[in-house]
Structures are given as C-alpha cells and as structure tokens.
C-alpha cells in the first residue's frame, strides 16, 4: 500500500436506530471527535423507538451532526479521505438515511466508502480506548442485541452465542414498562435496584441452559407471573395494580441480579469452551450499568482475565466505533461500491 494511502482520516456515520452520530478518526491520532443527537426525548413520549420518527429525525440531524463532528476534530470535508457508514443491521429507514448521505459525500468528494456492521462496531468499541489482548471475548448487550463474540484479530470475530428472543436491554425496557418505569428502562432499573442494595428479593427463575445462547423472554414472563401471584398485576386488563416504590425497587433489584447471573453463567461456559481466552469486554448500552460492570470485573479478576469496558459514551450507539472499524478496513482496502446496500 502506498504511504499516502495508509494515512486515513475517516468520517464515521451511524444512523442504525435512534441516534444520529458522526465521528472523525485518524491513523495518526485515533479518535478526534464523536458527536451525536439522541432521539431519546422523542422516543420517551411513545415508550420506545418509532421507526418513522427515527428516520425523519435522522434526515434533519445528519448534516448538523457531521458538521459538528468535523468542527470538533478541527477538520473540513476536504480532509476526509474515507467514509465509514453503518450499513447493517438496524431499522431499514434509519440505515438508509446514513447510507444515502454517506454515498452522496463519497461521490462528491471522490473518496472511498466502507459499509460497517453495527455489531462489529460494538464488538470493537472497547478497542477505542484500550488494546485488549487476543483471543478475546466480547459480550455485547444492547436494546437490540445480546451476543458473545470470540475475537481473534481486528475484523476477525465469530458469534459464539446470541439471544434467541429478546435482547437484554429489551428485557430491561419491557419489564420497566410493566412496573410503570419510563423508557429507557435500563437506567431506571439500575437506580431502583441501587436504592435497595441489589438484593435478590424474588429469585426469578433463570433458564439454565448449558448453551451459549441467551433467552430473556422467559425472564420477562417469570416477572409477569410473579407480579400476578403477588396481586400486583391484573392479567385480564393488563394493568399494574401496585404502584408502590417498594415494588418497583424490589422487582428492579431482583431482575438485575438475575441478569448478572445469566451473563456470568454464559461467560463461564464460553471460557470452558475456549480456555485460551486472555481478555473479556462488556459493551453496548447495557454496559452502562455500573452494577453489572463491577460484577463482570470481579468475575474476570477471579478467572485471571483482563477485563475492558468502554466509557459510557462508547457503550451506547455512537459513530466512533464505526469510524474505528472503518479505519482498519481502510487499511486493508476493504472498500465498497456506491451501490452499497443496507441489508
């Protein structure tokens, strides 16, 4: 590769769900800026993401966010020599906004474009701040995905476990809704659980399957039926009958401990199957949870593993992780054509 072309200034663009994000990453200095517009306030009104609203908001916000990211990096569009854009998976209408904008820029600036898998972005998000040794296991837990990746090099990863139904973040969001907590549920559940010191009040059944796949819909059902049994929820009318803070705290705390146990059980299995593992990372929106982060750190230290978790700004959806993956793909000249699809 000629020297000039190995010096990349990447503009990363992420619009797979409800965050409009842009970032600048350079070969010389790594991440220079990472900006986003979160639609969380809009989504709160509807108790979740409304795809139509998400894509319309991306259309409004994508240009100002890219401008902000360039300014914060001290760069202009003319400094950018490759564009990395999330091309899958995600909400089609949302992905299309980012992909079309990225293609237009690449065409106008006559620079290459790279489609990045959003999940590869999450899987390598801890590499923005750290250099975990390989082989590495990454637990990604977000609102849309819960997966375990075995990572042996940059861009070389294998999914060794994933959710067969709801994602972990989705379980937090759905159960929060059930007990009258606002969206997004994860941070609310954490606050409630912390107030009662993370005690396991209700000991919800954890499906102890000896596989690496996750299942959270059973846990949601266990919480629901436990509420019914306690006379706190009416199944026929689907209404919460007990609005006490005490119930919210006890359900939240028991749920968080159950999810902790599920994560640790899966990591134990993964390590048994892959004893050569040197390090573990915990990423995705759910990795903002301080209790879970600490529990996994403790597990790793007991098992002699290095442990990494990104700063919260790189745990939730962001474009820095997309620019990072785009950067190592650019170094390998893994470019896409302008007919890059989002599926």
Q: Are 294 and 309 in contact (CB under 8 A)?
A: no
Please list the alpha-helical segments (H only) found in the chain: 40-46, 51-73, 92-109, 118-123, 168-178, 185-195, 217-229, 245-273, 290-302, 312-315, 320-331
The answer to whether 200 and 182 have CB atoms below 8 angstroms apart is no
187 contact choice in Zn ion, ligand KG4, none (CB below 5 to 8 Å, kind-dependent): ligand KG4
Among Zn ion, ligand KG4, none, partner that 184 touches (CB below 5 to 8 angstroms by kind): ligand KG4
Using CB under 6 A as the binding rule, whether residue 179 contacts ligand KG4 is answered as no
Considering CB distances under 5 to 8 angstroms, the limit depending on partner class, which of ligand KG4, Zn ion, none binds residue 326?
Answer: none
Instruction: Report the candidate in 143, 100, 137 with the shortest Cα–Cα distance to residue 118.
Output: 143
The owner of tokens 């785009």 is: 326
Which does residue 288 bind out of Zn ion, ligand KG4, none, counting CB within 5 to 8 angstroms by kind? ligand KG4
Site for ligand KG4 contains 121 (CB under 6 A): no
Interface with ligand KG4: number of residues (CB under 6 A): 19
The site for Zn ion, by CB under 5 A, has a size of 2
Give the C-alpha separation, 215 to 170, whole Å: 11
Please report how close the Cβ of residue 21 comes to Zn ion at its closest, in angstroms.
10
Per-residue string for binding with ligand KG4, 38-77, x by CB under 6 A? ----------------------------------------
Residues 311-330 interacting with ligand KG4 (rule: CB under 6 A): 316-317
Applying CB under 6 A, which of residues 144, 161, 310, 326 lies at the interface with ligand KG4? 144
Q: Which of 39, 55, 57, 142 binds Zn ion (CB under 5 A)?
A: 142
User: Could you tell which of ligand KG4, Zn ion, none binds residue 66, using a CB distance below 5 to 8 A set by kind?
Assistant: none
**Minimum distance from residue 314 beta carbon to ligand KG4 (Å):** 10
Should residue 289 be labelled a site residue for ligand KG4 when binding is judged by CB under 6 A? yes
Which residue, 276, 265, 315, is CA-closest to 161?
265
What is the four-CA torsion angle of 34, 10, 289, 294, rounded to 10 degrees? -120
Please give the distance of CA 179 from its chain centroid, rounded to a whole number: 24
Q: Are 130 and 307 in contact (CB under 8 A)?
A: no
Contacting residues for 336 by C-beta, under 8 A, at least 6 apart: 87, 112, 113, 114, 115
Q: How far is the CB of 190 from ligand KG4 (least distance, A)?
A: 4
Is residue 187 at the binding interface for ligand KG4, with CB under 6 A as the rule? yes
Report the C-alpha gap between 106 and 114 in whole angstroms: 10
The residue behind tokens 């904008």 is 101
DSSP per-residue codes, 160-199: EEEBSSS-HHHHHHHHHHHTTPPSSHHHHHHHHHHHTTT-
* 172 scored as a contact of ligand KG4 (CB under 6 A): yes
Contact between 87 and ligand KG4 per CB under 6 A: no
The only residue of 288, 319, 320, 342 in contact with ligand KG4, by rule CB under 6 A: 288
For position 39 contacting Zn ion by CB under 5 A, the verdict is no
Give which of ligand KG4, Zn ion, none residue 32 binds (C-beta under 5 to 8 Å, depending on kind). none
Distance, CA of 82 to CA of 6 (rounded, Å): 11
Residue number with CB closer to ligand KG4 (173 or 336): 173
* Site for Zn ion contains 317 (CB under 5 A): yes
- Binding site partner of 121, from Zn ion, ligand KG4, none, Cβ cut-off 5-8 A by kind: none
Q: Which two tokens stand for residue 50?
A: 């409304």
User: Of the candidates 112, 284, 310, 326, which one interacts with ligand KG4 according to CB under 6 A?
Assistant: 284
Q: Does 190 bind ligand KG4 (CB under 6 A)?
A: yes
Half-sphere exposure of 224 (CA within 13 A, CB side): 17
Contact positions vs Zn ion (CB under 5 A): 142, 317
Residues that bind ligand KG4 (CB under 6 A): 17, 142-144, 169, 172-173, 184-187, 190, 284-286, 288-289, 316-317
């Amino acid at each position: 590769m000629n020297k000039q072309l190995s010096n990349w200034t990447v503009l990363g663009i992420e619009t797979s769900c409800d965050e409009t994000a842009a970032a600048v990453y350079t070969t010389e200095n790594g991440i220079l800026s990472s900006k986003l517009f979160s639609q969380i306030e809009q989504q709160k009104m509807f108790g979740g993401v409304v795809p139509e609203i998400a894509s319309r908001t991306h259309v409004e916000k994508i240009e100002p966010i890219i401008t902000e990211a360039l300014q914060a990096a001290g760069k202009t569009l003319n400094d950018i020599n490759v564009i990395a854009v999330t091309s899958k998976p995600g909400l089609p209408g949302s992905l299309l906004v980012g992909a079309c904008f990225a293609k237009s820029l690449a065409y106008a600036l006559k620079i290459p474009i790279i489609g990045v898998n959003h999940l590869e972005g999450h899987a390598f998000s801890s590499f923005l701040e750290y250099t975990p040794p390989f082989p590495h296991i990454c637990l990604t837990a977000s609102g849309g995905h819960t997966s375990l990746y075995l990572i042996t090099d940059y861009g070389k990863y294998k999914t060794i476990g994933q959710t067969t139904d709801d994602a972990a973040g989705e379980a937090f969001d759905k159960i929060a809704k059930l007990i009258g907590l606002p969206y997004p549920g994860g941070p609310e559940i954490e606050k409630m659980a912390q107030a009662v010191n993370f005690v396991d009040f209700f000991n919800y059944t954890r499906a102890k399957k000896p596989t690496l796949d996750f299942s959270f819909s059973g846990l949601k059902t266990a919480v629901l039926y436990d509420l019914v049994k306690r006379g706190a929820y009416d199944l026929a009318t689907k209404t919460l009958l007990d609005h006490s803070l005490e119930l919210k705290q006890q359900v939240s705390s028991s749920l968080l401990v159950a999810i902790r146990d599920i994560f640790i059980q899966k990591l134990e299995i993964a390590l048994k199957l892959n004893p050569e593992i040197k390090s573990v990372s915990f990423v995705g929106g759910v990795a903002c949870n301080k209790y879970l982060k600490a529990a996994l750190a403790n597990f790793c230290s007991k098992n002699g593993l290095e442990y990494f978790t990104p700063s919260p700004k790189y745990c939730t959806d962001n474009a820095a992780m997309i620019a990072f993956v785009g950067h190592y793909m650019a170094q390998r000249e893994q470019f896409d054509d302008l007919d890059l699809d989002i599926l």
